[in-house]
A and B are shown apart, each in its own frame.
Chain A
C-alpha cells in the first residue's frame, strides 16, 4: 500500500524537526557530525514513524523491533528521533556530547532510552544486527532488526563478512539501510575508494536489494514494506541521499561531516530549515 498523503506530509514535517534538532544539538555541543544525519533524516524518519516497532511503552519488550546505527557518528538524528518518540526528553537532547550525558558522541547501549546497541567503530554494526536477528528467530520473537550503514562504511571488510553470514542464515527479519551520499571524510567516496554498485554487491551476496531516492519518503516506505515480504533473505535498501540536505552550505560536501556551525551559521541553518513543508 502506498503511503497516504497525510502520512507522507507528517513524515516530512517530523524530518524537518529532526534536522532542526540536529543543527541545534551540534551547535550546543560545539562539535559533532551534522552532515550525515541531515542527509539521512527523510529515510530515518520514515523508518521510525512507519515501521520500527519501538515505543516508550514497549522499549523493554522481547517482541519489539531492534535498531542499530551502524554509522554511529550520525547519532544526532537518531537521538532526535528517539526524542520525537518520547524515549528521550528534549532537555536531554541538548546534553549531547557533554560530560555525564547518556547521549554520547557515538551511541552507547542504553535500553531505557531505546538505544539498542553501542556503535561508532565502522563495520561492527551489521554483525551485531544480524546476531540480534538470529537471536530473535531462535527465541521465536516477532521482531525485525533494522541497521543503518553507509557507502563509506561499505569499505570495511567486516560488512561483507556480515553480509555473507546474514544471507547464509536466511535472516529475513533483517533490513539494512545504506546511506549512499558519495561523501566521506577525505572527500568524494568515488575518489577516495569507490565501493561501486552496492545494490549489485548485496544481491551477489544473496540479499534482496533495492536502490531508492533516500529523500523520497513514499519510495522509502515502499522499500521498507517490500523488505517485510521477503521471508528468507535479508534486505538492503540503498538510500541515495545528499549529505547536509536542507542546509545549503552543508550540502554535498565533506566539510560538514564532522564540524559544528557557529552562531551565524546556525541562524542561517535554522532559517533555511524553517521553510514550509509540502
Chain B
C-alpha cells in the first residue's frame, strides 16, 4: 500500500522553490566538482548567483542568449560535466526549445534545465513572462525527464535527483514564496508520486504550487463530508502510473490541478495513464486555452480558478459524474 508522505510541522513557513534551488545547487556544487552552472543574465532571480559566488570558476553567464546557452551546455556535457542551465521558464524552454531538442535531447546529454518564474505566480510581469506551456514543451521530448516540485523540501530533492539521473532533466520552479509542505525526511524518487492525504470519494492529483491548493481543497471538501485523496505527482515524466491506477480504482474519479495550460500539460499526462489503464471520470483544472495577465499571484490564482475553493467545487461536481 502507499504510505502517506512525511509532512512539515511548520505550517506557516513560506519559501520560494527558486530560493531552495539556489541553496541546493550550492550544496551540490560543494560536494561534486563536475557540476557546472550556466545562466542567461538572470542569476539573481533564478538564484544561481548563490552558486556563482561560491564557485566562480564553474559558473558561466551566457548573457541574454538562451539558445546558445543550451548548445553550450550540451558541449560542456561532452567533456563529462554535469551542467545545470537556468533562466526564466519562458525563455529557457520557449525560446530555446529547438536547441534543447536537437542538442540536449537527441544525443541525450547530461544537462539539467532548472527554470524559474514558471506559471501565473510570476504575477505583475504579466503574460509575456508567465510561462504556461513549458510542461507540454518538455514532456513531449524523448529522453527528457520532467519534475515540478511543490515546495522547498521537494525542490532540494529534485536537484539531487536531477544530478543522480543521467541525461536531460527539466525542473520547473516558481518565483513566489509557497508553503513548506513536506517534512525534512521526505524523499523524491524518479517516476514515483506520493500520497499526502487518504480519501476515497475523489482523488485530487497536483504538482507544483497547486499541491498546497489541493490540500486546502481537501479540507473544504471534508467540511462537506467528502473525503478527498490528495496525491503529489511532482515527477511528470516518467509519471507514477501505479499510483494513478490505484487512485482511479479507490476513488473512481480524478481531478488534476496545475498552474499551466491543461492542453498537453500535467493533467494531460495523468489522463493518458487513466485512459490507458483504468478509465474513470476526470476533470482538469488549469489554464483553459488562455494567457494570464498582470496582478498579484494569489489574485491571479483565484481569478483563473486555481485556488483551493475552486478546486473543491470542481471536485464536488466531478463526483456527480461517478458511476453509481
- Point out residues on A near B: beta carbons under 8 Å: 66, 108-109, 116-121, 123-136, 138-139, 141, 157-158, 161-162, 164-165, 168-169
Contact = CB atoms under 8 A, between A and B. Distances in A.
Contact of B75 (A121, A133, A157, A168): A133
Nearest to A163: B68
Nearest to B71: A127
A165 B95 CA distance: 18
Question: What 5 A-B pairs are tightest by C-beta distance, nearest first?
Answer: A131-B75, A127-B71, A135-B79, A161-B68, A131-B72
B155 to A, nearest CB: 26
B63 A164 contact: yes
Contacts of A129: 75
A118 B67 contact: no
Interface of B: 36, 57-58, 60, 62-63, 65, 67-68, 70-81, 98-99, 102-103, 106-107
A162 B62 CA distance: 9
Given A131-B73, A135-B75, A158 B99 contact: yes
Residue among B62, B68, B70, B99 facing the most chain A CB atoms (10 A cut-off): B68
Given A118-B103, A118-B106, A169-B60, A162 B68 contact: yes
B81 A128 contact: no
Residue among B36, B58, B62, B79 facing the most chain A CB atoms (10 A cut-off): B79
Given A117-B74, A135-B80, A164-B63, 11 more contacts: A108-B107, A127-B67, A127-B99, A128-B72, A128-B78, A131-B78, A134-B60, A135-B76, A138-B57, A161-B67, A161-B68
Summarize B's interface: helix, strand, loop or mixed: helix
Given A124-B99, A127-B68, A134 B75 contact: yes
A162 B71 contact: yes
Contacts of A124: 67, 71, 98-99, 102-103
Summarize A's interface: helix, strand, loop or mixed: helix
Nearest to A147: B75
Contacts of A139: 79-80
A256 B74 CA distance: 32
A245 to B, nearest CB: 29
Residue among A127, A129, A132, A135 facing the most chain B CB atoms (10 A cut-off): A127
Contacts of B62: 165
Given A128-B74, A128-B103, A158 B79 contact: no
A134 B78 contact: no
Nearest to A136: B79
A118 B102 contact: yes
27 contacts: A109-B106, A117-B74, A117-B103, A118-B102, A121-B98, A124-B98, A124-B103, A126-B71, A127-B68, A127-B71, A127-B99, A128-B71, A128-B78, A128-B103, A129-B75, A130-B71, A131-B72, A131-B73, A131-B76, A132-B78, A134-B72, A134-B75, A138-B57, A165-B63, A165-B65, A165-B72, A169-B60
A131 B74 contact: yes
A118 B67 CA distance: 16
Nearest to B102: A121
A75 to B, nearest CB: 15
A165 B77 CA distance: 17
A174 to B, nearest CB: 10
A109 B79 CA distance: 14
